[in-house]
A and B are shown apart, each in its own frame.
Chain A
Amino acid sequence: GNSVTQMEGPVTLSEEAFLTINCTYTATGYPSLFWYVQYPGEGLQLLLKATKADDKGSNKGFEATYRKETTSFHLEKGSVQVSDSAVYFCARVNTDKLIFGTGTRLQVFP
């Protein structure tokens, strides 16, 4: 099938901790992959994307590498900040639409 699976939240971290949010997908072929972020009270914003295998998307200190061997696109950040507190959605393209994971809430405390 065509689906996206994300780790359950919430993820609770202290400021400057290392972050990993796991995301795996099922697909035939190699769809483009995305991470979107939704800050409290705001709409969905694109965080980063990767369009082919082994691509690394990066933005605002966040990174994710398209791994075709493990069908994964895990989100990482070396040192989180309180301002990173948000809900993060992994997504893949399926023909003309995005298929989203269930979202992972990140809470960062000072």
Chain B
Amino acid sequence: GAGVSQSPSNKVTEKGKDVELRCDPISGHTALYWYRQSLGQGLEFLIYFQGNSAPDKSGLPSDRFSAERTGGSVSTLTIQRTQQEDSAVYLCASSFHSGGRTDTQYFGPGTRLTVL
């Protein structure tokens, strides 16, 4: 079946602008995760959704970052007033269950964000 999809694949924006990144998880997966991959910080967890609620937002780096999920499916990560340090690849993953210690997270191809 279809894997996790993300859009856009690349986004170039100017400092101070807002951006929205989209994730479509694998159908039937109840858990959805956002991570960030950057040269300086490696792979970092941002936020986790179970259904439409986000029980763990501990990785969001500032209040400029927010995310929502609707219909237990699509999720949008929004970054307001982008800064150059926000430049990174933003990865989305989904898994069948949440909090399951054996569950495998399946990753999308990522959105490469460049803030000029």
Interfacial residues, chain A to chain B (CB-CB below 8 A): 31-32, 34, 36, 42-46, 49, 51, 89, 93, 95-103
Contacts and interface: CB of A to CB of B under 8 A. Distances in A.
Contacts of B55: 96
B56 A34 contact: no
B38 to A, nearest CB: 12
Contact of A45 (B42, B45, B107, B110): B107
B56 A103 contact: no
A42 B109 contact: yes
Contacts of A102: 42
A78 to B, nearest CB: 25
Nearest to A34: B104
A89 B91 CA distance: 14
Given A98-B45, A98-B105, A100-B43, 5 more contacts: A44-B107, A45-B107, A89-B43, A95-B56, A96-B99
A80 to B, nearest CB: 23
A36 B99 CA distance: 19
Contact of B109 (A31, A34, A43): A43
Nearest to B58: A97
B102 interface: yes
A51 B102 contact: yes
Contact of B45 (A49, A51, A99, A101): A99
25 contacts: A31-B101, A32-B101, A34-B104, A42-B109, A43-B108, A43-B109, A43-B110, A44-B107, A46-B104, A46-B105, A49-B104, A51-B101, A51-B102, A95-B56, A95-B99, A96-B48, A96-B50, A96-B56, A97-B56, A97-B59, A98-B43, A100-B42, A102-B42, A103-B42, A103-B43
Interface in B63-92: 91
A93 B43 contact: no
A8 B116 CA distance: 31
